[in-house]
Structure 1
Amino acid sequence: MAISRRAFGVGLLAASAAATGGYIYLRGHPEIAGRMGESRRLFGFAGGEKEGFLANARVRNLLERRFGLVLDARRAGSVEMVRERALLDQKPQFLWPSSSVLVEVARSSGVKISRDQVIFNSPIVLYSWDRIADGLVKAGFAESAGGPRYTVDLLKLLKAIVAGQSWADIGVSDLFGRARVVSTDPNRSNSGFMFAGLVASVLSGDLVMIDTLGRVDGDVATVFRRMGFKPPSSGKLFDDYVTGGVGAQPLIVGYENQLVEWVLQDAERWKRVEANAPAKPVILYPRPTVFSAHPLISINREADDLIDALMNESVLELAWEDHGFRGPLGTIGKARNALLQSRLLDRVDAVLPMPDAPVMLALLDRLAA
C-alpha cells in the first residue's frame, strides 16, 4: 500500500522530534549515554595536585563505564594553563586549574568558556614538623588544635619573616638562618599563586584591592624573595618536603589534601613514620587561609558532560576517600580514616576570599620583576 506524502512527512517529523528529544535526554543523563554508546576521549590540562585522582583506576573506570568518558589529562601548572599560548594553542577541550580566579584569567586570555564549575575544595595549609610546630606554639606564633594539628597566626609569622627574624627568634633554636616559608612559583603554580594573594591581603589588613596593593607589594616580594628556589609544582614541593626532612624544608605551603593522599597511598609507611621518625609531618592551618577551589573549565560543549560526571556523588566520595579533596562546599566526605582522624579540621572557618583577577595579575607582574 502506498504511503501518502502527508503521512510520510508526519512520520519524518515525529522521528526527528524523537531523535532530538532522545539527544536532549541523553545530554541531561550522561550516565545513560555512557552505558549505551562508545566512549568519548577528552583532551585537556589539569593541575599536578589532581594527578593522583586522574590516574586512580577506580575513578577512570567509573568515568568510562558510567559516563562514557576517557580523559587525556596532561599535567600543567594552573597559572600556565590559562595564560600560556603554547598550551592553549594545543586546543584543549577542558582546563582544570586550582583557583576560581583563574577562570577570569582564562577569559582575559581569550579562552571561550562553555561552562565552569567548582568540583573540589582544599584549604591552603602550611606543612611542617612536630618539633618546629611545638617551637612556634611556645613562641606564641601557633596554637595546638588538639592532636597533631595546629593553627598559626599568619600575620604574626609574616611580619617576623619580613623583619628578617631568625628561626631562633620565632621559637626554633636548632635551625640556621632567617625564618622562611617556601611556596611554589606563583607565576606557574596555583598554590604559590594563592599564597601570594593571601599574603597580600593579610599584610594589608583586609582583602587587597588594586588601590591598596602598592602599600604591601614590597613586603610580599620580600616574603617570596626569602624563599630562595621555588619549585614549579605543588607535587614537587611536597615531595621535597617529605624526602628532605626538617633541615631541607622546615615550613612549606601546600594543599590540605596532599598529606591525606600521601598517607592513603601507603598506610604501612605512615605507621612506620608515626612510630619511628625523628620528626613527624604536621599540618598548620593558617588563620586566615584561602580555599583552593578546583573549577573545571569546559572549552567546548563536548566537555560539558565532564562537569556533570565529576559532580556525581560517587566520584566526589572517591575524591575524598582516596585523595582527601573536600567537596564543592568545602565539607569533608562521609568516610573517616583512623590514620587521619585527629589531623584534619572538620571545619575551616577563618577564610579570606581571593583578590580579583586584575589585582592578582598586577601582583604576579611585581613578583616576576
Structure 2
Amino acid sequence: MAVDTVREEQAMRRLTDSLLETYSDTHPAERVETVIGSARQRFAGRPVREFVPILVERIVRRELEPESVVTVSATAVGAAVAEERPESAGQRLGAALRGMSAPNKRNAGLLGGALTVVAVVVVAMVARQPDPAPVAVPGVGLSVVRGVVGSEKVPFFQDQRVVDALAEHGMRVEVDPAGSRQIATSIDLGAYDFAFPSSAPAAERIQRARNVNVKYTPFSSPMAIATFQPIVDLLTPAGVIKPGPVPTFDIARYLELVRANTEWAQLPDNTAYPVRKNILISTTDPRTSNSAAMYLAIASFVANDNAIVQGQPAEQAVLPTVSKLFVGQGYTENTTQGPFHEYLAGGMGPSPLVLIYEAQFIEATTRGQIKPGMVLTYPSPTVLSQHTLVPLRAGGDKLGRLLVADPTLRQLAAEHGFRTGDAAEFAKVTQGVPVAADLIDVVDTPTYDTLEHLLDGVTKSYN
C-alpha cells in the first residue's frame, strides 16, 4: 500500500473513531459508519486525496446535524497547506474543488459551505494578503520531527501538554499510526525521522534493516485482557479466570477450551452469554500488529510446556494450537485502537474478551470511558511490551533522548498509562484503578527469528 494511501486510511480511521464517539448518544454506530462510507464514496477515483477526510467530516456532520453550522478548521487546512509550497497547495486544492463539485447538484449544495471556507483560507495564505489576517500555523519556527508509531501511543503525542513540552525543546512531532509489525515490514520509513513500534522484536527488525545501532525504550506496558463482569462470572467456575483484587486469566486452561473448540453456550449454567461461537480472545491481525505477536509469544510459551519456543521442532509442535487462536476470529484489525474502541462502544455482545495494552485501559479510565461492569484481567503468564523508539535521523534521536530523560514527558507518559520504570509515579497515576502494581508472572518473548517463524506459520494457516 502506498504511503499516501496509508495516511488516508489512518486519517479516516481516526475520523471514524472521533465521529462514533461524538454521536454515540444520538445515532447508532451503524448509522454513523454508513454516512461516513457514503460520503467517502463520493470521492472515489478522484486523483487529489489530501482534503478528502476534511470534506468527508463536513458532509457527515451536515447530515447528522442538519440544523447546525459546522466550520472547517483553519488550523487543519493551514497545516495541510504548510506541507507544500503555497502555490502548489493552492493548485492542488483548486483541482480538488473542481473535481468534487462535478458529480451532481446535491453534492455541490452539501459541499458549498465547506469549499468556500477552505478556499478562503488557502487563498488568504497563498496570496499573503495583509487583510484579512493570515492564518497562523501552529509550530512555525519549530523543527518538525515525523514518525510512525504504534496506534496506542497516538493519544500521548496528541496531548497538548506533550506538544507544549516538546515545543520547549524546539520541536513539533507529527506521527502516523500503524501496526508495529507493519512498521517493521511494509511501511516505507524513508519519509520518517523515527519509528516507534510497541515491541523490542519489531524494533530489532527495523534496526537490522536500517543498520541502526541506537534505540530508546522510554516506557512499557504489559499485555492485558479487557472483559466484563458477566464473562468473569462465567469463566471463573470454568477455571479460566482466577478471582482476586486484580483478576488473572489462566492461559493454560484457556488453551484447553480452544483445543476442544468449546463454545460459550456449552459452559454450564450459562444464561449471561449463551452464544454459539467459540470462546476466543479478540485480537489484532498477527500479520501486522505487535499486540497479536505478543499474544502469540504468551500462548506459544504455555503450549510449549511453559518454556520459550526454540528451534523448528518446538515451532511446529505449537503451531496447530496457536493458529486456532487467530483463524477462528474472522476479520481482525491492524492496530489495537480498533478492537478496544469496539469494546468501549459495543459492549460484550461483539467483544466479550479483548486483548489490549494495559495502558489503554488506564487511559480510558482516566478519561471516564470505562463503564461499570468493565473489568481488566492479566494473562497468566503475560509479557511486557517494550515500546522502543528507533531513531532514523537526528530529530528522532533527540526525541528518543527526551522521552527517556525529560521528567515532564515521563510524567505525562505515566498519565497515559505507560510504565516508565518509576513505580511511585505509576502508583500515583493509577490510584483507584484496579491494576497490578507489581508484575510477577511475566515471561520473555522468543527471539526475533523464532517469533517471525511462528508468525509466518500462523499466516499460512489463514490460507
State TM-score, norm by structure 1: 0.80
Question: Does the CA-based 8 Å contact 1:184-1:234 persist in structure 2?
Answer: yes
User: CA separation in 1, counterparts of 2:195 and 2:386?
Assistant: 13
Mapping for residues 51-66 of structure 1, pairs under 5 Å: 51-65=154-168
CA deviations on 1:73-107 (whole Å, 9 max, x unpaired) are 111111111111x522x331100000001122213
Counterpart of 1:361 in structure 2 is 452
How far residue 297 of structure 1 moved from its aligned partner, in angstroms, is 0.6
Note if 1:183 corresponds to 2:283.
yes
Distance 1:334 1:348, change over 3 A: closer
How far apart are the structure 2 equivalents of 1:304 and 1:126?
33
Match of 1:129 among 228, 243, 253: 228
Q: Give the superposition deviation at 1:126.
A: 1.0
Contact 1:118–1:328 under 8 Å retained in 2 = no
CA separation in 1, counterparts of 2:375 and 2:282?
A: 16
Cα drift, residue 313 of structure 1:
2.2
Alignment of 1:207-226 (within 5 A): 207-211=308-312, 212-226=314-328
Question: Helix, strand or coil: the match of 1:179?
Answer: coil
Q: State the shift of 1:339 in Å.
A: 4.4
1:110-162 deviation digits (Å, cap 9, x = unpaired): 2132520111111101111011112211222211122xx31111111012112
- Report the equivalent of 2:185: 83
2 CA distance for matches of 1:79 and 1:179? 26
Show the counterpart of 2:412: 318
Shift of 1:171: 5.5
CA distance in 2, matches of 1:352, 1:233: 23
Instruction: Quickly say closer, same or farther: Cα 1:170–1:117, change in 2 above 3 A.
Output: farther
SS in 2 for 1:217: helix
Q: Which residue of 1 aligns with 2:354?
A: 252
Distance 1:259 1:57, change over 3 A: same
1:169: Cα distance to partner?
4.4
Structure number having the greater strand percentage? 1
Partner of 2:257: 160
Q: What residue identity is the alignment partner of 1:160?
A: L
SS of residue paired to 1:80: helix
Q: Quick check: 1:47–1:76 contact (8 Å CA) kept in 2?
A: yes
SS at match of 1:333: helix
Write the letter of the residue equivalent to 1:283.
L
In structure 2, the residue matched to 1:71 is: 173
Within 5 Å, which residues of 2 pair with 1:248-327? Answer: 248-265=350-367, 267=368, 270=370, 273-274=371-372, 280-311=373-404, 312-321=406-415, 323-327=416-420
How far does the alpha carbon of each residue in 1:164-198 deviate from its partner, in whole angstroms, 9 at most, with x for none?
11224456723312211111001111111111122
The equivalent residue for 1:28 is none
Q: Gaps (5+ residues) in structure 1?
A: 1-37, 275-279
Q: Which of structures 1 and 2 has the larger relative contact order (alpha carbons within 8 angstroms, sep 6+)?
A: 1
Aligned residues: 314
Percent identity for Structure 1 against Structure 2: 25
User: Is the CA contact 1:120–1:330 (under 8 Å) kept in the aligned structure 2?
Assistant: no
CA distance in 1, matches of 2:222, 2:318: 23
Q: Does the CA contact (< 8 Å) of 1:331 and 1:346 recur in 2?
A: no
Name the CA distance, whole Å, in 1 between partners of 2:324 and 2:183: 27
Q: Which residue identity does 1:64 align to in structure 2? A: A
CA spacing shift, 1:251–1:72, aligned 2, 3 Å: same
Q: What corresponds to 1:92 in structure 2? A: 192
* Cα displacement string for residues 341-369 of structure 1 (whole angstroms, at most 9, x for unaligned residues): xx111011101101111111111211111
CA distance in 2 between partners of 1:171 and 1:232 (Å): 34
Q: Which residue of 1 aligns with 2:299?
A: 199
Contact 1:121 1:329 in 2 (8 A): no
Name whichever of 69-78 and 111-120 sits farther off. Answer: 111-120
CA distance in 1 between partners of 2:255 and 2:281 (Å): 9
CA RMSD of aligned residues (A): 1.9
**2:196, 2:356 → 1: CA distance?**
18
Taking the aligned partners of 1:82 and 1:245, their CA distance within structure 2 comes to 32
